[in-house]
Structure formats: C-alpha cells, structure tokens
Chain A
Amino acid sequence: MIAFEEKDYTKRFDPNLWKKLGVFLKPYRKRLLVLALFMIALAGVDALFPLMSRYAVDHFIIPATSRGLGLFTLVYFMLILIQSGNIYFFIAIAGRIEMDLTYDIRKKTFQHLQELSFSYYDRTPVGWMMARMTSDSLRLGSFISWGLVDMVWGLSLMILIAVIILILNWKLALITLTVVPVLVILSLFFQKKILGAYRIVRKTNSKITGAFNEGISGAKTTKTLVREKENLREFQNLSRNMYSSSVKAAVFSAIYLPVVLSLGSIGTGLAIWLGGEKVVLDLLSYGTLVAFISYTVQFFEPLHEMARIFAELQNAQASAERIFSLLEEIPQITDSPEILETYGNVIATGKKEKAVIKGDISFRNVSFAYKNGEKVLQNFNLDIKAGETIALIGETGSGKSTIVNLTCRFYEPDAGEILIDGCDYRQRSQLWLQSNLGYVLQSPHLFSGTVRDNIAYGNLEVDDAKIEEAAKLVNAHEFITTMEKGYLSEVGEGGSLLSTGQKQLISFARAVLADPRIFVLDEATSSVDTETEKKIQDAIQKILRNRTSFLVAHRLSTIRSADRILVIRKGEIIESGNHHELINRKGHYYSLYTNQFLEERETVVLNS
C-alpha cells in the first residue's frame, strides 16, 4: 500500500493556471460580461443616492421650497426599482454561472475519471477524488462568479465615488482620500492573517472529527483496555488547541473591522471639519457636504470585501490546481489512434467492434510491475484454450490477481504481450474485450437502485423476462420474490439492505446477463451461510460452462472441478495440473488442499 502524498501548492498568483481555467470560462464569456455590466449598474445607482440627497438639500430644504418634489420622488422611486431589478438579476446570473461552471467541472472530471486507469485508482484515495469533485469544484465556481461580483461592484463603486467627489470638490476629495492606501495595505494584511488563522482552525477541526471517529469506533477496545482517562486527556489537548486557534482567528477578525472603521472615520472627520468650514464660508453647499459625508462612509464598504477576495484567491487557486492535476493525469491504457477513429472511446462509442471472442488466451513473456516498483511477473507464459476453467491459487501477493487484472486489460504488460484469439489485445479496443467480460468480486459491489437495475447492469438492453431468467439460473429468483417489492426492491446504498450472500447472487446474475466469453471469479465465495454457499456453488457450475474462466482462490469443490489448477508463488507457476494430478504429486497443492479441507469440513460439522 502506498501512502498517498498530498502535494504542496504554490502560493503566488499563477497566470498559467488561470489561462487553463479560461477553457472552462469560454462558454460563459457573454454571461460574465452581462454580470459585470449589472454590477457596474448596481454600483452606479449606489453612487447616485448621495447625489440625490445633495439635490434634495440644495434644491428643496435650503431654498425652503417643495416645487419639483413630485418629479424628484418619481426619479427616486425609479432608482429604487432599477436597483431592486439589478439585485435580482445579478444574484440570479451569478448563481447561474456558479452552478453551470461547477456542473461543467464536475462533468468533465467525472468523464476523465472514467478513462483513467487502475494504476491511478490504486494510488489515489476515493476520498481525495470525491473532494475534488465536490468541495473544490464548488469553491472554484463560487470564487469565479461571486468573486467577480464583489470585485466589479467594489472597484466600480470606489472609482465612481472617487470621480464624483473629485468633481464635487477636488481639494477636499484629495484630502479625504489620503487614508485609502493605508487602508488597502491594512486590509490585505488582515485578510491574509484571518484566512491563515481559519485554515489552522479547519485543520484542527478535521483532527477533532478524526478523534471522534476513533473514539466512537474504538470505544469497545478502549473499554477493555480501561483507557478512558488517557483518551480523554488526549482529546482535551485537541479541543484545547481548537479553542485557542478559534479564538485567535476570531480575535483577528474582531480587530480588523474596528481598525477599518476607525481609519475610515478619519476621512469622514476630515470631511466634516474642512467641508464644514467651507460651508460656513459659503464655498461649499450644504448638500455637497452631506453627499461628501455619505461618500466617505460608503467608499470604505467594498474595501474589505475586495481584500477578502484577494486573500481567497490563494484557496481558489489551490482548488484549481488540484482539479487540473486530476484532469491532466494521462490514462495509462488507451486505445490506438486507429481504433479510436473507427470505434470511438469509452465515452463516445461509435460502431461496436463486431469480432466475436472465442476465448483463447496466451501470455507471451509477460513482465509486469506495479507503479510502486513491486515486480510481480517476469517472463510469464501461459496458454489457455477457449472454454477452459483455470483455478489460480497462492498466497496474498503471489501474483494471481495480477494475472487476472492483466487478462482483463485493467493493466497492460510492461513487456511481452497477451494474445486473445491469437491477437495482441492492444490492437483491439478496450471495449471489445471488456464488454465480453464477466467479473464477480469477493466483496460484491452493488449500486443504489432496485434489484432489477443492478442485474440489468450486465446488459442494459434486455427485458424483464431475461432478467428473471438470469436470476433463476443463479438461484437468486427465490429470495428476490420474497422481498416486498420483488425485483423493484431497493438494495440501499452499496447494497446495504441485502446480506452479503444475496449481494453475491445478484452480482452473479448481473454477470450471467452480460453473457461474457471470459469469466473471472475473484474470491467470489467468502463467508456466507451454508445454504447460500450451496446455491452459489450450483450457480458457478452453470455459469462456467463453455466459457473461458478464471477462479481465484476458491472453495475446494469449485477448484476441484477446474480443468487446470495453477499454484502461483512469487509470480511463477510452481504447480500445474488438474486436481488428481496435483494431489498425487503431494506438493504445495496437496498441503493447501488438506488444510482447507479441514477448515471447510469443520464449519460444516459445526453448523449441521
């Protein structure tokens, strides 16, 4: 098992990355533009309100007249209407872009995952891939849409205000704006600190989740070891860390806002002082002073939103990098260009490759090592005739599963070739082979949905009669019909509503329905009760008839009936022959057989 290593991500702004992201943004260029326009409009109206106050003061209050107030009211009302409309549209558009973008990212990533080879799945935890598809895609989508919203609104509001007050009175404007650079720098500084602090909080939080997980799953063990006190002490260390890092993060936020407010108030104070003096000297109208004061307050509002965006850029970039690291992973196993041209790939299937598989399989000088350097096969040779049943036995890690994986083309040989019906399988499409495979695993994997859905997974184009037929063949029909909704009963997430034996029978039915030429049973009969066990054995006998098949580590009764038994050790066949031959040889198979015989029989005696 290779420990999965999380890469470190760059902290600087990376233009290349955002260029790559451009591909995703391309379909939304128009909408992003519209969104930006709405945000500018929103900022525009926001910036107009103080001017309206100025007009009211200078044209109605100071001259003490209400002439024209009707029109003023109408204009004001129109502005409100426009603004409400702006708000609706910008939220709806930004939301649309956010959802569409994350949808696209998820779709593309999922497709790519379907093409990636097993070697990728071997070294990547499912949780990691899940996180890319869920939290990272969402974070990136929302950063792009809502980030744009805040940036465009904030920038245009600040620019508009600066322009307006410069026009109103440039000297006063310049003086009140002196605090801006200080504020910008402080905001950036604080937002970085705050985000950094919250990152630590999140990390500690996931440790706490881990500790709860362990505390709950390990409670029984803890009890027998009388370790409650020590566990609590360890947990308290964690929760204390959580306390102090959370408080630290909260204190940063608690300092930031007052600092911005106070600095901002210097601008307003300057406006009152210097503006007031000008009003007294009649150099400035009352209305302008009022507008000035509003603007100095309004000006600083977008600032911390924008500082936040800049700080978040780093997180969004890390998300993007992780998503691209997945998307740029090159599938190890691909079809040749000619094949792709004629038959399409696994996603966009073109014509089906018609050639029927007979089932002759040959390994010619095959060498293979896993990505972690673990050499499994070297110069391995094996010839299997169509319709033969091969049992592979050997210890964990001996290479028996690898032989099967190579046969299925889940991996390809590093050297040598594997021939199917006399032709190197790399000259055919992956689909050609894999749509002729039947594969039943030790721990059967079912999908949420009905029993019927799960059986039909083997062949999507069959009717209910065929499905029932398949279920009857593997002795699954009986238990299915006793279920409340029969074939339409839900199996639960991962088949959790069924017993292991039932899941196994369904996965057999699924494989039967596919009517494969090559069949693999990978430790397919694990601990199930005797009754089910017998049914499964019956099913296996029926399924294997006339198909090239592999049995990996099995019950004796199944192994005995194999045409050929291969004992594998360290990637080599150390014994080969049928049951009788091998028993008479009194070698490895003989001792394996006797051991397993005793264990199997004992179970039978105990449970009789």
Chain B
Amino acid sequence: MNKMKILWNFMKGYRSLYIFSISSIGIATFIRFIWPLLLRITVDSVIGDKPLDVGGWLQPVFSGLFQQLGGRTSLIQCLWIFGLILVCLTLAQGLFLFFKGKLSAVASEAIVQRIRDKVYDHLQYLPFKYHVNARTGDLIQRCTSDVETIRRFLAVQLVEVGRALFMVGFALSFMLPMHLTMTLVSMALIPPIFIFAVIFFLKVKKAFQSSDESEGRMSTVLQENLTGVRVVRAFARQSYEIRKFDIRNCEYRDLTFRLIRLLAWYWSVSDFMSLLQIAVVMILGTYWSAIGMISLGTMLAFSSYVGMLLWPVRQMGRVLTDMGKALVSVDRIQQILNEPVEDSGTGNAQNYLQGNIEFRNVTFGYEHDKPVLKNISFRVSSGETIAILGRTGAGKSTLVHLLPRLYDVQEGAILIDGRDIREYDKKVLRKNIGIVLQEPFLFSKTLQENIGLAVENYTEADIRDAARAAAIDDVILNFEKGYDTLVGERGITLSGGQKQRIAIARAVIRNNPILIFDDSLSAVDTRTDATIRLELQKRPQRATTFIISHRLNTLAEADRILVLDNGMIVEQGSHLELLHKDGMYKRIWSIQNELEEELASEINDRNAELNVNNGKEIQIS
C-alpha cells in the first residue's frame, strides 16, 4: 500500500504522539475492563460468600489485593470502598480518555496544518504553466475537502481502530481466564456483526453517491435559476422553473430517503444481532449459573463485557470504509505535491539591473513542435519604450512572459545587461521586472495593501505617488474608506479598468528598471491611458518599458514598435519609419483616413438620411 506509506510520511514527527494517544486509549480501555471484574468480586465474594476466583493471570493480582484489604469479613463492613474504587477507576479512565482526546487532536491538527502549509507553499512554487492550465475548482476542493477527510481520519478513526483492537485483546484476556465456554458464547456473533457492517458500508457507497449527485443536480438548477433570473423573467418562465426545480428537489428527497431507509434497515438488523448476542449471554449465563456452572458475578461481568464490545465492532464497518476515502484523499493531495516545482535557479545575486535587453534568435512554443515565437531577435537599450502590435495569438504575451522567465526559451537566448537571463536567480529577475498582466488579480486586502503588496517598506506617500501615476488616486479618495477600502467579496467590486490601474500602481511602486504592460490598459478609456503614460514618463527613473496595445496613440508615442505576426517580427521601427513601409502598421493608421472620408461622405450626402437601410452598405466585412 503505497498510499499508506504516504500517509505514514505525512505523520512524521507526530507518530510518537499517536503512540501515546493510542496507549492512552489502551489504558482507558483496560481500566474500563476492570470494573465488571470488580462488580463480580463484590457480588460473588463480598456480598456473596464464594471464594475469590477470577482465574488465570488475574488471580494473583486480585487475591493479593483482596487479602490486603482484610478479606471478606472486613470488606463486607465497608462496601463504600468498592463504590469509591469504581469512582476512582472512572476518574482514571476519564483522565486517559482526555489524554487520548487531546493528544490525537494535537497530532492530527498539527499534521493537517503541515499538510495545508505544504500544499499552499508547493502550489505557489509550481511553474506558471501549471497555473495557466489548472482547474481551480478541483484544486481548491483537494486543498479543502480532501484535507478535511484526512483530518477526520487522523483525529477520530485512526485512534478508533486502536481502541477496537485493544477492546478485542482485553476482552479475550479478561474473559478467557474466567470462563472459556462463556467467552466463546459471548463472541459468537461478533464476527458476523463486523462482516455485516463492512459489507453494508461498502455496498451503500453507491446510495451515498447518488444522493450527493442528485444534490449537485439540484444545486445546479438552483444556481442557474438565480444567476439567470433576468432570462427567467424576460421569458416569463417562472412556473416552468418551479416545475424544473421541483423535479430535482423531489429526486434529491427520494434518493436521500432511500439512503436513510437503507441505514434504518442496517441499524435495525445490526441492533437485532447485537441484542441477540446480549440475549445469548444473558440466557445461557442465567441457565449456567442456575445450574451452578458459573457464578452470578461471572454472568454479570460477561454481560458487561459484551455490551462494551458491541459498539466499537459496529463502528468498525464505517471506520474501514472511511479509511478508504481518506487514502483516496491522500493520493489526490500527493498528486499535487508530486508536480515538480519551478527551479528558482542559482545565479548571480546582482540585485540591480540596468534594463538593456537583447533577444537573440529566440524560439519558443508551449508544446514542443509548435513554436509560438520563431527566431526573434531585437535589442532594447535602457529606458526605451517598446510597443508591441499584433493580432490575437501572434505571440505578444508570450514574448513578454519570457522576460521574467515565466517560461524559458527553447532556442536562442535572452540577455539582460549582456548576461543570459538563465544565469540570474529567478527571484532577482522578477523583482526587477514589473509586469502587469492582462487580467490582474487583486487580493482581498485593502487598496493600500494591494498597492504595497510587493514592496517591503512603504510610506503612505509612496502609495499615493504610485496611485497617482496609475491615475487611480482620485478614484480611491472618492471611496468612503479611501485607501482602507477592502477589495473583493467582503469589500467593493472594482471595474476592470480600476483593477488594471491598481495593478499598474502595484508595479510602479517598485521602481523597476523594466516594466511590462501586457495589454493592461485595455479596460481604461483613451484619455486615462494617455494620462498614465505621461505620468510614467515623469517618474524619476525611466524604465525600459514594453507595452502591448492596440491604441494608435500609444503605439505612435513609443520609441519603437514591433509588429508581430505568426510568431515573427514582421515590422520594426519608429512610428515614422513604419509609416513609410507598406505594412500592417501603415494599414492601421490609414483607418483614420478611412474614417474621415466616411464622415465627409455622411455629411455631404444629406439625402442618405432618407435611406433607412443605409447602414447595411457599410457593414464590416
């Protein structure tokens, strides 16, 4: 069992706590087993007049103690001693039960804490590519409900298995010396009860599953109805929706009830067998003590033992099936941990970059033989602004993602300040490159914390400064709580453009020598876009800047424009240079002329007003 081994490894450092916890439950169980014996001695040899005979290994212990206390004659005067011993035994048992509870809680919670931390940390260091393709919902489920399954197993079930084993062991060693036949009789139905439990819980898995699944279907209908409320109302489909929901609601009710009925059947049969086991002990015991084969005390002791044994045995069926679930969860977590993390690279610890960049015959593809970038070469000197233009899928984002080594080139090399970026430590590289992603992610913290996320020490002035550069300062001040406004579910929802601007502020505050805007001004209006670019130029240190954009003004103002098509640079140069080439850039600029022509024709052709269908002539083709 490979999974067992993984679980065993998770438990490292806390195994001894488990040993203590299981020992505690062992001791508690042992003490619990003493008291029917005590009852037997009281009934048989103190109140009654039979000689003390507990048999086997118990005999010397108890007869010694019995004599010490003065034998029957003095004990019969002080029956309170037995009451007291019982209370003391229970206290001792309680103490060890407490130890067991506390120790297994400490151990299981600590192990789970470690699993959580480990998985969280591991996820963060998985390569960029992993997160691009990740199925978020599935991952979160693994990190939460699978971890919870493991926790429950570690906190409750593991110790429960220990208890059951102790139970059976002690039962045999206490009962066998007392009476062999009675022992066999008392245990006769235990195996069938146990087997029945295991088989039942294995079989009923499907019923649990179908109930869960139907609940899922019901939630889907519910969720789709609530999120699609506009559609429902616009088509006046309320009663149709009610019927649709009712079908799922009924289905869930019926499937779950079927499960409950199965459980009712199980508990009824299992209780019948258990009660039958007690009855067998009771009636045979009565008969045998009536004919003098065993004593009254023995009979009483045996009925206590049987009662104690039955519960854990019946629980075992459940525990064993749950253990299967826990092992599956362990496997699902291990799958995450088995994913190789990103190698941060050792390299030169030079902490400050100038920002001179060179792409040298760079070829890269996400899959091996499908290059997205082909043989790209260009140079950028420190402080230059480079605009990148190209259609969707031309490789623009890929190109800028290579710089902070979110992906590594396949062929060729990228050099920063004359040194291959693979020689830098990734962390150093990324700390020097501010990249604003197309769909930036904000954390559920305050706006101030979000902007200061990636710098160690910042003053309020730094934050405001960065926010001003990103043209978001006045927007933030308009919020009721200003910079202390919380973002996200518990706070405000920002528009796409606002998010982009916060992300820009977050990058700008680091004063990086290299800045990348991966189409990250797409959701702000043209005027704000221009303001932000102007503000950036005013910053004390001019960064080498890459801007992916479609906006004509943005492109025109850049020092140089790269036009990418199909993974290759098809045009390259300043605005004026490119206007003289007959390429894509020129075509885009000529749209303006087109517009002017069209507007001129609109204005001239007054008669066109009468033509309602005019719009169709100029449809986009």
Contact = CB atoms under 8 A, between A and B. Distances in A.
B47 to A, nearest CB: 5
A10 to B, nearest CB: 24
Given A431-B236, A439-B234, A243 B87 contact: no
B97 A254 contact: yes
Nearest to A90: B264
Interface string B447-460: 00000011000000
Interface residues of B, number: 161
Contact of A96 (B257, B290, B592): B257
Contact of A228 (B121, B220, B296): B121
Main secondary structure of the interface of A (DSSP, over half): helix
Nearest to B125: A228
Contacts, number: 445
B94 A224 contact: no
B113 interface: yes
B441 interface: yes
Interface stretch (A16-24, A52-60, A153-161, A181-189): A52-60
A460 interface: yes
B420 interface: no
B120 A215 contact: yes
Contact of A273 (B79, B134, B389): B79
Interface stretch (B56-64, B280-288, B356-364, B378-386): B280-288
B427 to A, nearest CB: 5
B272 interface: yes
B23 to A, nearest CB: 16
Interface string A573-592: 00000111101100000100
A259 B94 contact: yes
B615 A80 contact: no
A499 interface: no
Contacts of B102: 247, 250-251, 254
B224 A448 contact: yes
A246 to B, nearest CB: 5
B93 A258 contact: yes
Contact of A243 (B90, B94, B110): B110
Contact of A262 (B91, B124, B226, B427): B91
Interface in B205-233: 215, 219-233
B267 A255 contact: no
Contacts of B618: 557, 560
Interface stretch (A264-272, A302-310, A378-386): A264-272
A579 B614 contact: yes
A52 B303 CA distance: 13
Nearest to A439: B234
Contacts of B552: 598, 602
B253 interface: yes
Interface string B91-134: 10111011011101110011011001100110111101001101
B75 to A, nearest CB: 10
Given A103-B249, A219-B131, A253-B101, A493 B224 contact: yes
B411 interface: no
Contact of A277 (B79, B237, B271, B287): B79
Interface string A270-307: 11111011011000001001100100000000000000
B1 interface: no
A255 B272 CA distance: 33
B262 to A, nearest CB: 10
Contacts of B131: 216, 219-220, 223
Interface in B245-292: 245-246, 249-250, 252-254, 256-257, 260-261, 263-265, 267-269, 271-272, 275-276, 279, 282-283, 286-287, 289-292
Nearest to B267: A87
Contacts of B461: none
Nearest to B598: A597
A408 interface: yes
B608 interface: yes
A72 B125 contact: no
Contacts of A129: 226
B91 A434 contact: no
B109 A126 contact: no
Given A257-B97, A258-B93, A126 B242 contact: no
Nearest to A541: B616
Contact of A130 (B226, B230, B290, B587): B226
Contacts of A208: 116, 144
A83 interface: yes
A494 interface: yes
A580 B272 contact: no
A27 interface: no
B39 interface: yes
Contacts of A272: 39, 42, 79, 82-83, 86
Interface string A149-180: 00000000000000000000000000000000
Contacts of B592: 598
A69 B98 contact: no
For A217, A240, A257, which residue has the most chain B Cβ atoms within 10 angstroms? A217
B83 A239 contact: no
Contact of A216 (B112, B123, B240, B620): B123
A84 B256 CA distance: 22
B196 to A, nearest CB: 14
A223 B128 contact: yes
Interface string A69-107: 100110011001101110111011001101110110011
B317 interface: no
B267 A91 contact: yes
A87 B268 contact: yes
Contact of B155 (A250, A262, A274, A560): A250
Nearest to B431: A226
A95 B261 contact: yes
Nearest to B289: A61
A150 to B, nearest CB: 15
A325 interface: no
For A262, A458, A604, which residue has the most chain B Cβ atoms within 10 angstroms? A262
A215 B123 contact: yes
Contacts of A447: 224, 228
Contacts of B106: 247
A557 B223 CA distance: 36
B454 A225 contact: yes
Interface stretch (B7-15, B178-186, B599-607): B599-607
Contacts of A530: 620
A198 interface: no
B282 A76 contact: yes
Interface stretch (B135-143, B318-326, B366-374, B536-544): B135-143
A111 B253 CA distance: 17
Contacts of B155: 250
Interface in A1-24: 1, 3
B231 A445 contact: yes
Contacts of A57: 286, 296
Contacts of B506: 225
30 contacts: A56-B286, A60-B290, A64-B292, A66-B287, A73-B279, A77-B279, A80-B275, A88-B264, A88-B267, A95-B256, A220-B128, A221-B437, A224-B404, A231-B120, A243-B110, A251-B102, A258-B93, A262-B94, A272-B42, A289-B43, A346-B239, A347-B238, A434-B235, A441-B230, A460-B240, A534-B619, A561-B613, A561-B614, A580-B614, A597-B598
Given A253-B101, A430-B236, 14 more contacts: A53-B282, A56-B283, A95-B257, A98-B260, A107-B245, A110-B222, A130-B222, A226-B427, A232-B120, A239-B116, A261-B94, A349-B239, A445-B227, A603-B550
